[in-house]
Amino acid sequence: MKVAFLGLGAIGAPMARHLAPQYTLSVWNRTASRATDFARENNAQAATSPADAVRGAAIAITCLPTSREVESLLDGEDGMLGAVDRGATLVDCTSGDPATSRRIAARLAERGVGFVDAPVSGGVSGAVKGILTIMCGGDEGAMARARPILEAFGEKIVLCGPVGAGHAVKAINQAMLGVHIWSLAEGLVALEKAGVSTATALEVINASSGRSNTSMNLFPERVMTRAFPRTFRLALMDKDVRIAADFAREHGVPSPLLQLVSELLREARRELGEEADHVETAKVLEEWAGVEIGRKA
């Protein structure tokens, strides 16, 4: 069975790597050298265009920055729409937005092609290990076709509702992550300024009710060590949290915290630039306060 994978970025590449041993895998990437390198190293085929990638594939997976880029790959001579087989399913692992996905799904449906939005959580390390959480939106038939392929890199795979539901859940998850990072950075900066050991504070918080993945893993591994590896761009998290804030607003829900964290992350992105990692947000708080977390032993 042929599977196509489009978008070999930081998380797309390790996801696609799990598919190569199990399927006839065709990969496409905007920067073609990444696809040819991947194909050589993983016994896959490098496609010359999105159309070339999806032709004859039962499942086509996209993993791009936003839904806008996914939509842009549909049209034109090299676009997916003119080449994808009737009966195939497009599985979009982008952290996208529900409204654009509904539009994409409707266009595909006109051609007898299914659609599942299937954004992932678990980071690059989760993708490498093949243990991502995948939150899906779509109908049960499309989901049944997508699930065995998603199992190659996912551990917890949940159908959340109709098309767009996966993206909505992902956006809200990202807003929670944004709140955790921002609030922990503010709190640790205050403790640092007051002369309290932030290593001790983290040890206590991680045995208390305020703990989170951010306090248990991200800050100990990335902030306290000053390693700040670049695995998930702040620019992408800003985009995710904006989707969450817009989603709440579109549904007429009072959401002061979602709106605020979205504004704060936009500011952090402005200050740190397009390539900064999401955890580097802590540096903005450090800069504002004039202290560095983890200085006091």
Active-site residues, by number, are: 170
Residue of closest CB approach to ligand NDP: 9
Helical spans, DSSP H, in 151-255? 165-193, 198-205, 213, 234-250
User: C-beta of 63: minimal distance to ligand NDP in Å?
Assistant: 5
State which of residues 2, 17, 18, 34 lies at the interface with ligand NDP (CB under 6 A): 34
Closest CA to 295 of 181, 191, 186: 191
Structure tokens at 172: 């809200």
Q: Tell me how far, at minimum, the Cβ of 211 lies from ligand NDP, in Å.
A: 21
Q: Is the separation of the CB atoms in 40 and 60 below 8 Å?
A: no
52 has which bridge partners? none
Nearer Cβ to ligand NDP, position 192 or 240? 240
Among 2, 12, 179, 184, binds ligand NDP (CB under 6 A): 12
Residue in 9, 114, 138, 154 binding ligand NDP, rule: CB under 6 A: 9
φ, ψ dihedrals at 154, nearest 5°: -115, 150
Residue type, 92: D
Q: Which of 8, 142, 177, 264 binds ligand NDP (CB under 6 A)?
A: 8
In degrees to the nearest 10, what's the CA dihedral of 34, 35, 38, 39?
-150
Three-state SS sequence of 37-94: HHHHHHCCEECCCHHHHHCCCCEEEECCCCHHHHHHCCCCCCCCCCCCCCCCEEEECC
Q: Which residues inside 47-66 make contact with ligand NDP, applying CB under 6 A?
A: 63-65
Binding status of residue 22 toward ligand NDP by CB under 6 A? no
Per this entry, what is the length of the chain?
A: 297
94 binding ligand NDP? (CB under 6 A): yes
Q: Is 220 in the site for ligand NDP (CB under 6 A)?
A: no
Question: Which is nearer to ligand NDP, 63 or 116 (by Cβ)?
Answer: 63
236 binds ligand NDP (CB under 6 A): yes
Cβ atoms < 10 Å from Cβ of 245 = 23
Nearer to ligand NDP, 192 or 238 (CB): 238
Binding region for ligand NDP (CB under 6 A) out of 148-156, 192-200, 230-238, 261-269: 230-238
Helix-strand-coil percent breakdown of the chain, rounded to 5?
50, 15, 35
Closest to ligand NDP by CB, 2 vs 170, is 170
Interface with ligand NDP in residues 118-157 (CB under 6 A): 120-121, 123-124
Interface residue list for ligand NDP (CB under 6 A): 7-12, 29-31, 34, 63-65, 69, 94-95, 120-121, 123-124, 231-233, 236, 240
